[in-house]
Amino acid sequence: MREFSKLSSQLKQINEIVNNSRDSNLWNHEAAVRKRIRELKDPQFKLIRGYSEVLKGYLQLLDKISRRLLNFYNKKNKTNFKFEEIVQTDKTAYISSGIISVLITSHIPKLVAEEFKRFFPANPKDEYEKARKLRRKIYLHLGETNTGKTYRAVERLKRCKKGVYLAPLRILALENFEKLNRDGVPCSLITGEEEILVEGATHVCSTIEKLEIEKFYDVAVIDEIQMISNSQRGQAWTRALLGLNSNEIHVCGAINSKELLIRIIEDCGDAYEITEYKRETPLEIIEKPFNFSDIEKGDALVAFSKKRVLELSKYFQDKGIQNSVIYGDLPPEVRRMQYQAFLNGTNTIMITTDAIGMGVNLPIRRIIFMNLQKFDGEDIRYLTSQEIKQIGGRAGRKGIYDTGYVGTVGLEQNFIRENLETQDEPLSRAVLGPGEAIINIKGLPLKEKLALWSTRSESLRYYRKMDIRDYLLILENLKYFKLPEEIQYRLMNLPFDVNDDDTMDCFVNYVDEFFNEDYGSISKPRLSGYLLYDYEKYYQMLNLYYSFSKNFNVNFEPEWVYGERKRVSKIINELLVKL
């Protein structure tokens, strides 16, 4: 009896302590009660009269504490989890680990898994119901670089009533926008950096990420389809291929995408037709290692870092050889100026990174690889056969040269020859991105849902998840703002270099200004210096200012942005000329 009285007294004391405790201080009490329950299940206590009553009292106390903890969790995280549903998930784990542990490790994953099944079909094609109801025919234009694939597709686009051209780069969207308007086809331009809306436009040229998936087009053109396997951007090509609402779709790209595309197209139930393109201008290997004294008009020297490109440009300028410069950070307006100077003969040679691999066709006679290795963001590696073909294929423009030549500064001619002649490794999987439906899944913060989404295996072997590290980095920088998931999702899809500290700081400042300080506006970017680097950085800030303002209806002056970008581009071009 004394033992029973002691146990009852302890239970009463703990009950009173719990009643007078703040919700945020209940964690230790919960752990102590769970420990006491486990002790009471020892056989020695079962012999005490009134044991069942005391155990029942402790179990009721645990439920009371757990309900309060759950209410506290729901209020803090704006969720609505039910106590009974969580406990039913695993009663044993509830007593051994506690309500929140069961919630996070068992109940939420199970709940979220069911939600994922509901919002993300086992087959990605089923996310696009409107496209599945159409009788689409897809024309595949596949083959080598500089063979007229895109030209043929765009010629068909010009003859339809309503069409869209989807480009990997703003400069390609701009080039075809100008071509269509020049040829009497009213066309608008929509990219992440600008919009030019032409009155009465029947067509649109756009970067592929800006595709308006709900709209219907008579004819659509998807360019550079091999990008479908790119770990960070490939999801935009997959989305376009699966979801375009168009009866006639023209897909242009490398031949190594053929098998993957056929698999996806047949799975969608679409008809298709394939045209394979071969070069009419042959490529020859320059057997002798390239020497700087061998430079000729029409040469393009390919390096794999901006620093090396600028060093080479200065070297040849000091020798009196004017050259055009192309690299990834260069604004599209400046690229066009540099292209034009090469086209009209003002600059006799070009010095470029692999940015030349996707772009306008230029009168290049010889491609010279200054290196056959590149840093791809993670490792220094040798170029793939597709990269060598994509870049080397820029030599020998049809109609200007009878032959194109490819060389290197070293003794690696056989490496180039083998990669030009070898059949590319077929693309095996298309990349999927987390659609906007992910914000409809309740129970976890967006960052955790993305992480969980990325680990879920695809039932079809020819799809894989995109690399979401950039998204996670953005969300990590947003965690202190407590923004709705719809806003977080839109912010993480803004186009900017998330790995550049200055640009990320600018992004975070815009979020703080617009959402926290309640100004309804954001500050215009400022130039921090007068070196080439400073102007390039300022240009990137202008792009971020534009895309943030456009996406969140900020009151701003688009014409100021366009004018400032034009001014900065002119300065950058002048700096390159004077390098």
* Mean pLDDT, residues 291-313: 94
User: b/e map of 336-352 (b: 16 or more CB within 10 Å)?
Assistant: bbbbebbeeeebbbbbb
Instruction: Tell me the two tokens of residue 544.
Output: 């971020």
Per-residue pLDDT, 424: 86
Is residue 400 within 8 A of residue 363, CB to CB? The reply is yes
Verify that 161 and 59 share a domain, yes or no. Answer: no
Verify that 106 and 163 share a domain, yes or no. Answer: no
Whole domain around residue 512: which residue ranges?
Answer: 500-579
CA 35 to chain centre: 48
Give the C-alpha separation, 13 to 5, whole Å. 12
Lowest mean per-residue pLDDT among 300-314, 389-403, 492-506: 389-403
Residue 189 lies in a domain: yes
* Mean pLDDT, residues 407-427: 91
Residue 108 lies in a domain: yes
Per-residue pLDDT, 116: 83
Is residue 224 within 8 A of residue 111, CB to CB? The reply is no
* Mean pLDDT, residues 505-529: 89
- Taking only the tens place, the pLDDT of each residue in 104-135 is 777 777 777 788 888 888 899 999 999 999 99
Position 150 pLDDT exceeds 90:
yes
- Assign 2 a pLDDT band (cuts: 50, 70, 90): low
Answer left, alpha or beta for residue 524, where phi above 0 means left and psi between -120 and 50 means alpha.
Answer: beta
Verify that 187 and 101 share a domain, yes or no. Answer: no
Position 534 pLDDT exceeds 90:
yes
Residue 303 lies in a domain: yes
Per-residue pLDDT, 3: 60
Per-residue pLDDT, 361: 77
Per-residue pLDDT, 9: 74
* Mean pLDDT, residues 567-577: 94
Verify that 56 and 137 share a domain, yes or no. Answer: no
Verify that 216 and 162 share a domain, yes or no. Answer: yes
Per-residue pLDDT, 76: 77
- Assign 445 a pLDDT band (cuts: 50, 70, 90): confident
- Taking only the tens place, the pLDDT of each residue in 327-341 is 988 898 999 999 999
Query: In the chain, pLDDT over 70 holds for what percent of residues?
Result: 96
Higher per-residue pLDDT: 399 or 159: 159
Per-residue pLDDT, 1: 47
Higher per-residue pLDDT: 221 or 421: 221
Enumerate the β-bridge partners of residue 285. Answer: 406
Helix, strand, coil abundance in the chain, percent, nearest 5:
55, 15, 35
Verify that 93 and 175 share a domain, yes or no. Answer: no
Contacts of 95 (CB under 8 A, 6+ apart): 34, 37, 38, 62
Enumerate the β-bridge partners of residue 195. Answer: 190
When the pLDDT of each residue in the chain is averaged and rounded to a whole number, the result is: 89
Instruction: Tell me the two tokens of residue 412.
Output: 């690696």
Give the C-alpha separation, 382 to 136, whole Å. 39
Verify that 169 and 101 share a domain, yes or no. Answer: no
* Mean pLDDT, residues 65-92: 84
Give the C-alpha separation, 487 to 285, whole Å. 53
* Mean pLDDT, residues 450-468: 88
Give the C-alpha separation, 326 to 432, whole Å. 31
* Mean pLDDT, residues 237-261: 97
Position 159 pLDDT exceeds 70:
yes
Give the C-alpha separation, 180 to 153, whole Å. 12
Verify that 138 and 271 share a domain, yes or no. Answer: yes
- Assign 45 a pLDDT band (cuts: 50, 70, 90): low
Verify that 199 and 107 share a domain, yes or no. Answer: no
Verify that 145 and 230 share a domain, yes or no. Answer: yes
Q: Which of 97, 119, 141 is the last residue of a domain?
A: 119
Higher per-residue pLDDT: 396 or 219: 219
* Mean pLDDT, residues 362-383: 89
Verify that 382 and 266 share a domain, yes or no. Answer: no
- Taking only the tens place, the pLDDT of each residue in 216-240 is 999 999 999 999 999 989 999 999 9
Give the C-alpha separation, 360 to 171, whole Å. 8
Q: Which of 249, 277, 305 is the last residue of a domain?
A: 277
- Taking only the tens place, the pLDDT of each residue in 6-23 is 667 777 777 777 787 787
Per-residue pLDDT, 7: 64
Residue 441 lies in a domain: no
Q: Which helix (H) or strand (E) holds 274?
A: strand 271-277
* Mean pLDDT, residues 254-258: 95
**Number of structural domains the chain divides into:** 4
Residue 447 lies in a domain: no
Q: Which of 366, 391, 421 is the last residue of a domain?
A: 421
The CATH number covering residue 138 comes to 3.40.50.300
- Taking only the tens place, the pLDDT of each residue in 286-295 is 999 999 999 9
Query: In the chain, pLDDT over 90 holds for what percent of residues?
Result: 60
Position 387 pLDDT exceeds 80:
yes
Residue 506 lies in a domain: yes
Beta strands 373-375; 380-382: pairing state: antiparallel
Q: Which helix (H) or strand (E) holds 575?
A: helix 558-577
Higher per-residue pLDDT: 328 or 565: 565
Residue 472 lies in a domain: no
Collapse the DSSP code of 234 into the 3-class scheme (helix H, G, I; strand E, B; otherwise coil) and give the result.
Answer: helix
Position 465 pLDDT exceeds 90:
yes
* Mean pLDDT, residues 405-426: 91
- Taking only the tens place, the pLDDT of each residue in 473-488 is 999 999 889 899 999 9
Nearest to 304 by CA among 434, 399, 408: 408
- Assign 312 a pLDDT band (cuts: 50, 70, 90): very high
Verify that 113 and 174 share a domain, yes or no. Answer: no
Residue 492 lies in a domain: no
Nearest to 73 by CA among 95, 109, 97, 104: 104
Position 49 pLDDT exceeds 60:
yes
Contacts of 336 (CB under 8 A, 6+ apart): 171, 174
